[in-house]
């Protein structure tokens, strides 16, 4: 296991220390960051800034808040990562939906920053070059393994560009040892015809601290390093993420986390423009209700006149999904369809 940087090591300690103390207690308050704009050094300040009173933990530091955690669920931690600067409003709101879902589910929540990337070997970061997603694909696995080794029963990773819009119905199957996100990718070719690809991605993934879960995460970490080591330079940003998982799924089906999905730029614009025909095709291929989707920050552009998705479109999609509680998508599911692999 790679060594942790001092700041990242410290950022892991608060929820771990709190988790251990829960063994002999029924309930406790666990602090989490209220804003993704605070650095990892702030995340550890709770240990010296919070004190316990007769009414529980008292907040003494404005960057932190507390939420009530039930002892039977504190063995699960939800982890996200995003930089502490240039945070788009729609990312901030997406992060808030995940944090709120973790609170509703009584899970521990942790938001980490750029230090996450330092978990990966220097040679790996150099080989990945400008493809940051290839680095984060490995880093999330290394961080998840750290949490498993420190005693958590489950680690759930959710990308920062995932919005949860039906939190009450989003559940993680307790019988899975590991799981990933189903992806229905829809775009158009030069002739205007629809292309549909069924894939598996890691925008939402879960690992359980059992034999199968630990075995899979170890094999996946090894595969990432082997793949990148065998390339002179990385050309595909999905090389060890969607590309690897989709191929693996064709060889041996990968467990799917139901309720999670992804909307391509074409589907996002269909949501904004009210294109029910395309949404019906999308949900027909999806085959099951969606409670959370990845909004694909990879396609973000700062100017509307460039190819890609500007922030106002991301915000419009997020608003429609949250306001409708997902019905704008789920009402389009054809009756009688099964769930595609």
Residue 299 resides in a domain = yes
Cα dihedral 7→10→12→13 (10° resolution): 180
Distance CA(306)–CA(245), nearest Å, equals: 30
Per-residue pLDDT, 307: 75
Q: From first to last of its 341 residues, what are the pLDDT tens digits of the chain?
A: 455 555 455 445 444 444 444 333 323 333 334 333 222 222 222 222 233 333 332 222 222 222 333 334 569 999 999 999 999 999 999 999 999 999 999 999 999 998 999 999 999 999 998 899 999 999 999 999 999 999 999 999 999 999 999 999 999 999 999 999 999 999 998 888 999 999 999 999 999 999 999 999 999 999 999 999 999 888 899 999 999 999 999 999 999 999 999 999 999 999 999 999 999 999 999 999 999 999 999 889 876 666 789 999 999 999 999 999 999 999 998 765 544 44
Yes or no: say if 112 and 11 are a contact pair by the CB < 8 Å rule.
Answer: yes
Residue 335 resides in a domain = no
Helix axes 265-273, 311-324, angle to 10 degrees: 60
What range does the domain containing 182 cover?
6-330
Q: Phi/psi at 36 (nearest 5 deg)?
A: -70, 0
Q: How far apart are the first and last CA of the chain?
A: 33
Per-residue pLDDT, 148: 97
Residue 339 resides in a domain = no
Tokens representing residue 192 in the block: 């205007």
Per-residue pLDDT, 232: 84
Coil, strand, or helix at residue 284?
A: helix
- Total domains present in the chain: 1
Using a CB cutoff of 8 Å and minimum separation of 24, what contacts does 309-315 make? Answer: 309/265, 309/268, 311/88, 311/89, 311/90, 313/268, 313/269, 313/272, 314/88, 314/90, 314/268, 315/89, 315/90
Residue 340 resides in a domain = no
Per-residue pLDDT, 335: 63
In the chain, which ranges are continuous DSSP H helix? 6-21, 40-43, 46-49, 89-104, 122-128, 132-149, 211-229, 242-251, 265-273, 276-286, 311-324, 327-330
Residue 109 resides in a domain = yes
Distance CA(56)–CA(28), nearest Å, equals: 8
In 108-210, which ranges are continuous DSSP H helix? 122-128, 132-149
Residue 337 resides in a domain = no
Q: Report DSSP state, residue 334.
A: P
Residue 1 resides in a domain = no
Yes or no: say if 318 and 94 are a contact pair by the CB < 8 Å rule.
Answer: yes
pTM of the model: 0.80
Per-residue pLDDT, 312: 94
Q: Phi/psi at 316 (nearest 5 deg)?
A: -65, -40
Percent helix, percent strand, percent coil in the chain, to nearest 5? 45, 20, 35
3-class SS letters over 239-265: CCCHHHHHHHHHHCCCCECCCEEECCH
Residue 137 resides in a domain = yes
Q: How far is CA 283 from the centre of its chain?
A: 21
């Amino acid at each position: 296991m790679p060594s942790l940087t001092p700041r990242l090591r410290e950022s892991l300690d608060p929820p771990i220390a709190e988790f251990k103390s829960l063994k002999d207690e029924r309930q406790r308050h666990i602090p989490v960051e209220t804003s993704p704009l605070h650095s990892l050094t702030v995340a550890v300040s709770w240990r010296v800034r919070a004190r316990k009173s007769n009414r529980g933990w008292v907040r003494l530091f404005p960057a932190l808040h507390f939420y009530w955690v039930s002892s039977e669920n504190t063995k699960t931690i939800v982890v996200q990562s995003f930089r502490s600067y240039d945070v788009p409003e729609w990312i901030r709101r997406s992060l808030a939906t995940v944090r709120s879902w973790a609170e509703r589910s009584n899970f521990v929540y942790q938001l980490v920053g750029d230090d996450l990337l330092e978990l990966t070997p220097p040679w790996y970061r150099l080989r990945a070059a400008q493809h940051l997603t290839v680095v984060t694909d490995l880093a999330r696995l290394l961080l998840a393994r750290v949490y498993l080794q420190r005693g958590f029963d489950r680690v759930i990773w959710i990308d920062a560009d995932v919005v949860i819009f039906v939190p009450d119905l989003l559940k993680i199957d307790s019988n899975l040892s590991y799981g990933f996100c189903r992806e229905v990718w829809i775009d158009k070719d030069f002739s205007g015809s629809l292309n549909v690809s069924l894939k598996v991605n890691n925008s939402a993934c879960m690992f359980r601290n059992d034999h199968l879960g630990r075995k899979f995460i170890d094999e996946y970490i090894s595969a990432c390093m082997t793949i990148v080591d065998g390339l002179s330079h990385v050309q595909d940003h999905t090389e060890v993420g969607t590309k690897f998982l989709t191929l693996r799924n064709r060889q041996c089906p990968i467990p799917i986390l139901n309720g999670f999905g992804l909307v391509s730029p074409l589907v996002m614009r269909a949501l904004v423009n009210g294109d029910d025909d395309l949404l019906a095709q999308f949900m027909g291929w999806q085959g099951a209700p969606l409670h959370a989707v990845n909004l694909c920050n990879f396609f973000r552009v700062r100017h509307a006149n460039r190819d890609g998705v500007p922030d106002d479109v991301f915000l419009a999609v997020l608003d429609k999904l949250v306001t409708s509680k997902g019905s704008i998508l789920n009402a389009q599911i054809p009756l009688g369809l099964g769930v595609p692999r």
